[in-house]
Amino acid sequence: MAGQQRVYRQRIRSTQSLKKIFRAMELIAASRIGKARDRVTAAAPYARALTRAVSAVATHAGVDHPLTTERPDARRVAILLVTSDRGMAGAYSASVLREGERLIQQVTDEGKEVALYVTGRRAVSFYSFRHREVAGQWTGSSDAPSAETAQEIADTLLQAFLAAPEDGGVGELHVVYTQFVNMVTQTPRVIRMLPLEVVEGVAAPGEDPLPLYEFEPSPEVVLDALLPRYIQSRIHSCLLQAAASELAARQRAMHTATENAEDLIRMYTRLANQARQSEITQEISEIVSGADALAAS
Amino acid sequence: MANLEVDLVAADRKVWSGEASMISAPAADGDIGILPGHAPVLAVLRAGTVRITAVDGGSHVVQVDAGFLSVDDNQVTVVVDTARDAVPGTTGRH
């Protein structure tokens, strides 16, 4: 009987220490998410300026560029999966991986080969556990991606895109990441990054029409300099959004975990009290019946 | 005379923004100087120094690596990969 009580007390203690970990993780995620959102906002002017410049060149010069042309010759497709380095974020990484698997299936059904590029240790371990080849991986900064990391990823992917088919060149690039909608909603999204689709002559309402620019030194050179930067900035913004989503998902998951731990502690406390009470009752009835037996003899 | 409205942005932050009377930047084939009323231009920049002469007379010198610059109706946007102050403390934030 006393053993039962001890087991419950032990479980209460271990759940309490788990709860402390969950609470700490929740607070850490909560304190970092503000910074992550600031970074998303800080990168916005750069992306805006680039988008404006790219559409200015594209509407003017209608130049053909390797990055904007379809490549029917290459049958490989690059897919970049953006996941987290650490777990404890609920279904965050799992839903990106699921979306990625769906895309891989779809691309394979079209008869194309897939070249996988992944960021985040979760995706790396997912694929190494299944013995599947990964063409490139980046880990270590999933919750605070720097512009340098984005640069590195963009360089690798652009190189793959511009390579000849026989050297493993890819014809398309898809990115699977988690879009940060708000603190409660983060949705996994698939976007086709390359080849770029230039939407011509679309000015957002209320925006001034683009002026007639002079290009220095020439439209082709300007476009050459702009497009890789544009890709890098798109990838950077995907990474930043994913980082904010990761932290939000972690905060929510850890909040739920803390609450569940509290529920468990409450339940075990109740069970422990019950065991204690029934033990006392049993001892009393043993004493009483013992006394009765003595009195009767 | 009208002034230039300058935005100097790096990949991950806004470096400097405000009104200026002149700006010079290292364009691909020679430095380019912009005064108010300049024709719209989109220029590729190489690594070098961007000099901004603010309206209040202060001058800001920023080391940049490659990027580009656009001028349109006295709106100047300088977009660079990374930027760093040549003289510490002349721009607002690091």
Nearest residue to A19 via CA among A229, A259, A212: A259
Q: Sorting pLDDT into bands at 50, 70 and 90, what band is B6? A: very high
Return the pLDDT at A178. Answer: 94
- Of A70 and A262, the one with more pLDDT: A262
The fraction of chain B above a pLDDT of 70, given in percent, is 89
- Of A212 and A241, the one with more pLDDT: A241
Q: In the numeric block, which tokens belong to residue B61?
A: 């010198």
Using a CB-CB distance cutoff of 8 angstroms, which residues of chain A are in contact with residue B73?
Answer: 208, 211
Strand partners, B14: B9
Beta strands in A125-208 (DSSP E): 136-138, 172-180, 186-194
Q: Do B77 and A46 touch (CB under 8 A)?
A: no
Strand partners, A136: A117
Return the pLDDT at A98. Answer: 95
Separation between Cα atoms, residue A130 and residue A185, nearest integer Å? 30
Using a CB-CB distance cutoff of 8 angstroms, which residues of chain A are in contact with residue B7?
Answer: 45, 49
Return the pLDDT at A56. Answer: 79
Q: Do B7 and A49 touch (CB under 8 A)?
A: yes
**A246-250, B11-15, B17-21: least confidently modelled range:** B11-15
The structural domains of chain A, with segments of one domain joined by +, span: 63-200+213-248
A257 and B CB contact within 8 Å: no
**A16-20, A194-198, A251-255: least confidently modelled range:** A194-198
Using a CB-CB distance cutoff of 8 angstroms, which residues of chain A are in contact with residue B79?
Answer: 46, 49-50, 53, 229
Give pLDDT tens digits for A242-260.
999 999 999 999 999 999 9
The structural domains of chain B, with segments of one domain joined by +, span: 4-85
**A48-62, A79-93, A180-194: least confidently modelled range:** A48-62
Return the pLDDT at B1. Answer: 63
A270 min Cα distance to partner chain B (Å): 53
Residue A104 has pLDDT above 50, yes or no: yes
Return the pLDDT at A54. Answer: 83
Separation between Cα atoms, residue A31 and residue A159, nearest integer Å? 37
Which residue pairs from A230-233 have beta carbons closer than 8 angstroms and sit at least 24 positions apart in sequence? A230/A50, A230/A51, A230/A54, A230/A196, A231/A67, A231/A154, A231/A157, A231/A158, A231/A193, A231/A194, A231/A196, A232/A147, A232/A150, A232/A151, A232/A154, A232/B11, A233/A43, A233/A46, A233/A47, A233/A50, A233/A150, A233/B11
**A3-7, A166-170, B26-30: least confidently modelled range:** A166-170
ipTM of the complex: 0.81
Separation between Cα atoms, residue A295 and residue A147, nearest integer Å? 89
Q: Do B11 and A53 touch (CB under 8 A)?
A: no
Q: Sorting pLDDT into bands at 50, 70 and 90, what band is A33? A: very high
Return the pLDDT at A264. Answer: 96
Separation between Cα atoms, residue A173 and residue A192, nearest integer Å? 6
Of the candidates A56, A150, A221, which has its C-beta nearest B44's C-beta?
A: A221
Mean pLDDT of A200-223: 68
- Of A123 and A220, the one with more pLDDT: A123
Residue A210 has pLDDT above 80, yes or no: no
Residue A202 has pLDDT above 80, yes or no: no
Using a CB-CB distance cutoff of 8 angstroms, which residues of chain B are in contact with residue A50?
Answer: 79
Give pLDDT tens digits for B52-70.
998 888 888 999 988 889 9
**A76-90, A175-189, A203-217, B29-43: least confidently modelled range:** A203-217
Looking at domain A63-200+213-248, its CATH architecture is 3-Layer(aba) Sandwich (3.40)
Mean pLDDT of A180-201: 82
Mean pLDDT of A75-98: 92
Q: Do A49 and B77 touch (CB under 8 A)?
A: yes
Domain B4-85: give its CATH code.
2.60.15.10
Tell me, what amino acid is at A90?
G
